[in-house]
Amino acid sequence: MLGNTILDNPSAISNVDKKNMLQFCERTAEFLKDATVRTKALQIPIETEVLGRTITYRRPKNIIIIGMGGSAISGDLLKDWLFDKATVPVETCRDFVLPAYADHESLVVAVSYSGDTEETLSAFLQAIKRGCKPISLSSGGHLQKIAQTLKTPHIQIPSNFPAPRSAIAYLFMPLVILMKKLHVVSGVEREITESFSVAERISQENGINSPTMINKAKKIATEVNNTIPVVYGFRQYASAARRLKCQFNENSKVPSKFDFFTELDHNEVVGWEAPTSLTTNFSIIIIRDREEPPQITQRIELTKQIASSKVRKVIEIEAAGKGNLAKILSIIQIGDFASTYLALLRGTDPTPTETIAHVKASIRTKSNYVKETLNKLTSPETSTRLSCE
């Protein structure tokens, strides 16, 4: 196992971080800006024909984001950001099938970095058959082919990222811009602009050349090393906590879990009654906000008192910025850095996810459903057949 000095040694970092995951973390502001430009340029028709049905893209009655893994988290983050803004429900669909209520008044956005995620393609084809308002986002793949075939709106993003999770700026920010374009929200331009400047500052403060002594992300990695990180969020940070948990899984290659206030004080907190011989293997990371509600503050402080004598370390991450968009993204970015630094401390390349690749390869040999359906979609008689189903 490598010592902590690797975090302040760029040449040693490059020997382990073979696909430059850290550099992609540092370029977050650049990616957020480009994702915004790409989505603003997207032409969404007021009305169009899709497989014999008339689709109208007026303000939807509900929104469903389809995705898995690093793509699905963008839907969760959108839901949290829209919590106090939108008057229509938002749901993330992590499945082969859509919820029963999805219909012609539902906006369905399929998000898949590769464009070939089986669950996402399956659910998106269902959305098309049901006459939902379809929009897709990918770097290519079958999802892009579907959009080209049916002439439905598609946002194409770059394909040169080392892993889908490293493209979070391109997977999430387009959803924010879509909400603005479709009049789900308004008056959020300042929040969007602020997110760029905050991301630039987070990169400077937590980047490769910022020493551990003043680098929050490097400190977090050092403090949680050799423990199981437990991430706690609240309200608009519930999905940010989930994202951090997933980044510790995929980047750091360690077990991790997450929960959120105040729900966790009705169940999770009891777990810290376990013997210290067990709980000392954990560390807790709590997401904080200077403007957090007093009810939340009270519960966070009580939970810290209960758990602090049981776990190895209790760490706090404070959101940066004024608007919720910048705050949420700041937590995401610090977590991306911290999980990557933790991988480096463990002497592990943060990019490969061999177990996920194994699972996908094993399943791909057994399932031809999506391939067969896509073949039907592009066949000459498709329009007649699917419109009658």
Residue 223 three-state SS = helix
| 210: Cβ contacts below 8 Å, ≥ 6 apart | 204, 218
CB within 8 Å of 279: residues ≥ 6 apart? 271, 272, 307, 310, 311
Alpha helices in the chain (DSSP H): 10-16, 21-26, 28-40, 69-81, 118-129, 141-150, 168-181, 189-206, 216-224, 238-250, 276-279, 294-307, 324-345, 354-364, 369-377, 382-388
E strands in 33-112: 47-50, 53-56, 62-66, 90-93, 106-111
Statement: 4-20+191-345 belongs to CATH 3.40.640.10: no
Active site (catalytic) residues: 250, 266, 360
Both structure tokens of 212 = 């551990």
Rounded-to-integer distance, Cα 276 and Cα 282, Å: 10
Spatial separation of the C-alpha atoms in residues 266 and 323, rounded to whole Å:
29
Q: What pLDDT does residue 2 have?
A: 41
- CATH class of the domain comprising 44-152+359-388: alpha beta
How far is the C-alpha of 112 from the C-alpha of 131, rounded, in Å? 20
CB of 71 closer than 8 Å to CB of 120: yes
Specify the pLDDT at position 383: 41
Structure tokens, 149: 């075939």
Q: What is the pLDDT of residue 366?
A: 46
> pLDDT (tens digit, 0 to 9) for every residue of the chain, 389 residues total?
344 579 999 999 999 999 999 999 999 999 999 999 999 999 999 999 998 899 999 889 999 999 999 999 999 999 999 999 999 999 999 999 999 999 999 999 999 999 999 899 999 999 999 999 999 999 999 999 999 999 999 999 999 999 999 999 999 999 999 999 999 999 999 999 999 999 999 999 999 999 999 999 999 999 999 999 999 999 999 999 999 999 999 999 999 999 999 999 999 999 999 999 999 999 999 999 999 999 999 999 999 999 999 999 999 999 999 999 999 999 999 999 999 999 999 999 999 888 887 887 776 654 555 556 666 665 555 443 433 33
Q: Are 4-20+191-345 and 44-152+359-388 equal in CATH topology? A: yes
DSSP state of 270: G
Q: How far apart are CA 143 and CA 253, in angstroms?
A: 29
Ranges of each domain in the chain: 4-20+191-345, 44-152+359-388
C-alpha 291/C-alpha 204 separation (Å) is: 24
Helix axes 324-345, 189-206, angle to 10 degrees: 20
As given in the structure block, the two tokens for residue 253 are 């290659």
Element (H, E) at 286: strand 282-288
Token pair, residue 72, equals 């699905």
What does the alpha-carbon distance between residue 278 and residue 272 come to, in Å, rounded to a whole number?
A: 9
- Characterize 304-316 residue by residue with b for buried, 16 or more Cβ atoms within 10 angstroms of its Cβ, and e for exposed: eeebeebbbbbbe
DSSP state of 228: E
Residue 216 near residue 205, CB atoms below 8 Å = yes
- 251 is written with which tokens? 């980047």
